[in-house]
Structure 1
């Protein structure tokens, strides 16, 4: 009789022990997870009891909170609507936060350790605590130009992106992805309405929730020739060096010829590097890339930022919006030797080369800034709820120096020639020095080509003002010219309002 009772007692003690261990696990290990869970109703009520701080661009609130009479006291609203959606993201009740709303959630919600002094002060004064305010680097005029020009592009492209950066600081002046979406329905306090709005966007084949400026990678076409030109300038080639060209060229390992976009482009056997960039000579760059070698091309692309997997865009002191890595891709045969046909195609931005619009803007910003590439950022300043104290102000950080100042100067001269004499004329701005490079990239045999443009604007003193990349997905004929025109409009707006305030 005693033995069975002892066994029962042992089992009960083990069960109590497990229960005790589980309670400790929940209290000490899982507490934060449960406290911040989107499904914790008490947390939701507490979270919405305090007024969330504003997110502002150019002195205007583009995300704010207004008081309601419902169970949740404040409703998050987005006066900027779709224009700022891919920067701001959204703050839903029962869905995951996105964008700057997620990155700066603690500060906006008033929970940040930085704001503890404000919370203590409010305890003594009896004032209601509020969240901190996030000021973005965006230029209102540049953002508006990017949004409207993309949406109303003249070639009928339905998908694309534009991003502008201040080359001197890395401050993002504009960031737009097309198609966009209205974040307001996603912040609805009615769960069924918010879920329905999200599901509709999530299931849309056009992928409006995707931030194409940071996360889309597509073949960059001839914009990649700037990377190849940089490698050439560092390996004995000058602007006036004659390089092999011609109307057509077939790589030694392939029976597929590479030709130029038009018969009038560099039909002569040799052209200068300056002419090859200005006229976008495919045959010249294909042969130049094979001459330089795969390792040289890949290394120069890496120095400009290709292959970087940990770059975020937001607050310089911590994480921000995630980005996709740009890639040069495989240029090898199965036995490990260089596939010269693939290398020739890669040298004109085809084959497996893939680039984000962000990377395109970073390449050209480094060239505009004498070879120094600054880390891009969106968060310019963090202000207390009462706006009297600044808890953070962005201090520009150099990310890398992909080219020396002289190489950058040579590249600028060649890119200015593209806008003055070549395929980028539509980007010109009266009274300013504008350089750039167009790119047309094959999408698929049954789909229209992508259109690209990367460019910069300098003032009369040679000071860089803005560096821009515009991508029009499956834009077809005229896509790169339209991308150049849009880039010119964005840079013109950035000249009038450089942002960062």
Structure 2
């Protein structure tokens, strides 16, 4: 071969190699990036033209796909008889042609869309048989009776309610109000879907914000006194009958500020037992107790209950917080669930659940089972798992007895259930100058064999406004949820 031909052959070889390399790079190494690129709608069309798996509550689909006569072939639909889409929106979220996905529709997308590796054998079968692929079915842990009880009892007031099974961590109810309708965002009409999304985001009541697990956290107020009492009992220096100072007014060191009790007077005769202090929710005794215990003991106890921990259930849960490096006045306020203490309702339900479960806190879980939507074969079944052991069994029993007295003869009487011992703590949390306080109630029942732990918050007192108290405003809501679970 002469020299010019060799040059032509070499150039041809190099060009072929470059072409082969570039196409291989695109097909194999850039394939995933190209599939997920925001300008590539083929993947979205492919997902929407596949029957997406349902999300089920007690076997009933509350999010499912129905055939339609358009390019996407299936329309995502929300709600069921007796299960309004608004009631479950902050769990299901939406799956939208225009605005993507949120909540479980987002976190469980690969399973619902049928693309998850867990569905590998099903995908092979579909390929061999030519059968249209279908997403997996996801059964959630929510008890529909408890969910409806929480929804109805909140009655559209801004707030949230969470119920847990103390023994497993299963989420039995998770309601955030006001609700919203995902169907308006799931429509295939791009303009209508965008309008619905814009209205949802612009709504001053923030319905898309899941008040149960995220966003702008709440000061828990006196419900946090459970954590302070736990720190005292766990220290070994205190018993339920240990006497504490409970003056009408507590002078805070390093400042001219004072802390007063709700009724204005002293607790007891100026001294009061730890158990009675929790029962009547004495501010001055708990503020002084927090300063005595110190930053390390308080912060450690809060962390062991879950404060400061990011969680996924699989929805992302905002971490509740206890302030670091406080001075004595700040620590006194923190012991009352004020200053910079912030919590989700889920976190306060976890505090009650740990006490109910002999001091063992289970990790909250929203997914019960994942099944093949066609064959019903089990794909995944999350097992209960321990989150932490914040208190000993002995301390848990002492706190249970103390919380029962809150209901039988204290601030939590609105949560009483005839024939059943209920353990609870109330809270009325100040949060902004001139604003009505948030009303809190956290509880579990039956106290001797707990089936459910609950936390409820009603923002700015709800309809009661500045007249709101945790017991009278949030207590009846918690009672309704507990009754719904226990009656089953």
Q: With structure 2 as the length reference, what TM-score do the two structures score?
A: 0.91
1:17 Cα offset (Å): 11
2:319 to 310, 322, 325: 325
Q: Out of 94, 102, 105, which is 1:101 matched to?
A: 105
5+ long unaligned stretches in structure 2: 1-13
The answer for the alignment partner of 2:175 in structure 1 is 176
Deviation at 1:36, TM superposition (A): 3.4
In the alignment, which residue of structure 1 is the partner of 2:291?
290
Q: Distance in 1 between matches of 2:169 and 2:392?
A: 18
The answer to which of 19-28 and 431-440 deviates more is 19-28
Q: Secondary structure at the match of 1:291?
A: helix
Q: Deviations over 1:53-100 (max 9, x none)?
A: 110011211001111011110000001311000111111113231111
Which range moved further: 469-478 or 113-122?
A: 113-122
Q: Offset at 1:478?
A: 2.2
**CA shift at 1:331, angstroms?**
4.4
Alpha-carbon distance between aligned partners in 1 of 2:453 and 2:285, rounded to the nearest angstrom: 26
1:388 counterpart (372, 376, 386): 376
CA–CA separation in structure 1 for the residues paired with 2:24 and 2:121 = 31
1:45-444 pair list within 5 angstroms: 45-79=45-79, 80-152=84-156, 158-216=157-215, 217-235=217-235, 236-263=237-264, 266-309=267-310, 311-313=311-313, 320-332=314-326, 339-444=327-432
Residue 352 of structure 1: CA displacement?
Answer: 0.8
Bigger drift between 419-428 and 386-395 goes to 386-395
Residues 336-373 of structure 1 show CA distances to partners (whole Å, capped at 9, x for unaligned) of xxx11111111111111111111101111000000000
Contact kept? 1:38, 1:44, Cα under 8 Å: no
Residue 27 of structure 1 and its aligned partner are, at CA, apart by 4.0
**Kept after mapping to 2: 8 A contact 1:419/1:435:** yes
Counterpart Cα distance in 2 of 1:423 and 1:16: 82
Where does structure 1 lack aligned partners over 5 or more consecutive residues? 1-13, 153-157, 314-319, 333-338
- 2:451: which partner in 1? 465
Work out the CA distance in 2 between the residues paired with 1:191 and 1:115: 31
CA contact (8 A) 2:49 2:71 kept: no
Aligned pair 1:448/2:436, yes or no?
Answer: yes
What secondary structure is seen at the aligned counterpart in 2 of 1:325?
Answer: coil
Q: Deviations over 1:274-330 (max 9, x none)?
A: 110000000010111111111111111111111112x111xxxxxx21111111114
Residue 437 of structure 1 contacts residue 453 of structure 1 at CA under 8 Å; is this kept in 2?
Answer: yes
Q: Is the 8 A contact 1:427 1:484 kept in 2?
A: yes
Shift of 1:264: 5.2
**C-alpha deviation, 1:28, in angstroms:** 4.0
The answer for the alignment partner of 1:5 in structure 2 is none
Aligned partners of 1:345 and 1:218: how far apart in 2? 15
| Change in 2 beyond 3 A, CA 1:212/1:457 | same
**Structure 1 residues 418 and 372 mapped into 2: Cα distance closer, same or farther (>3 Å)?**
same
- Whole-angstrom distance in 2 between the partners of 1:19 and 1:304: 59
2: CA distance between counterparts of 1:371 and 1:107?
A: 35
Asked if structure 2 preserves the Cα contact closer than 8 Å seen for 1:133 and 1:387, the reply is: no
Q: SS of the residue aligned with 1:56?
A: strand
CA contact (8 A) 1:38 1:96 kept: no
TM-score (norm 1): 0.88
Partner Cα separation in structure 1 for residue 259 and residue 113 of structure 2 = 56
What is the SS of the residue equivalent to 1:263? coil
- Partner SS for 2:395: helix
User: Contact (CA 8 Å) 2:149, 2:484: kept in 1 or not?
Assistant: yes
Considering only aligned residues, what root-mean-square deviation do their CA atoms show, in Å?
2.2
CA distance in 1, matches of 2:478, 2:266: 24
1:487 aligns with one of 462, 478, 484: 478
Deviations 1:190-234 (A, max 9, x none): 111111111111122221111111104111110111101001112
Distance across 1 between alignment mates of 2:296 and 2:141: 37
Confirm or deny: 8 A CA contact 1:265 1:279 kept in the other structure: no
**CA drift at 1:263:** 3.0
Q: CA deviation at 1:118?
A: 2.3
Matched with 2:6 is: none
Larger CA deviation: 37-46 vs 246-255: 37-46
Q: 1:265 and 1:191, CA in 2 relative to 1: closer, same or farther beyond 3 A?
A: farther
Which structure is higher in RCO with an 8 Å CA cutoff and minimum separation 6? 1
Q: Look up the SS of the partner of 2:188 in the other structure.
A: coil
Match for residue 33 of structure 2?
33
Partners of 1:357 and 1:16 in 2: how far apart?
Answer: 63
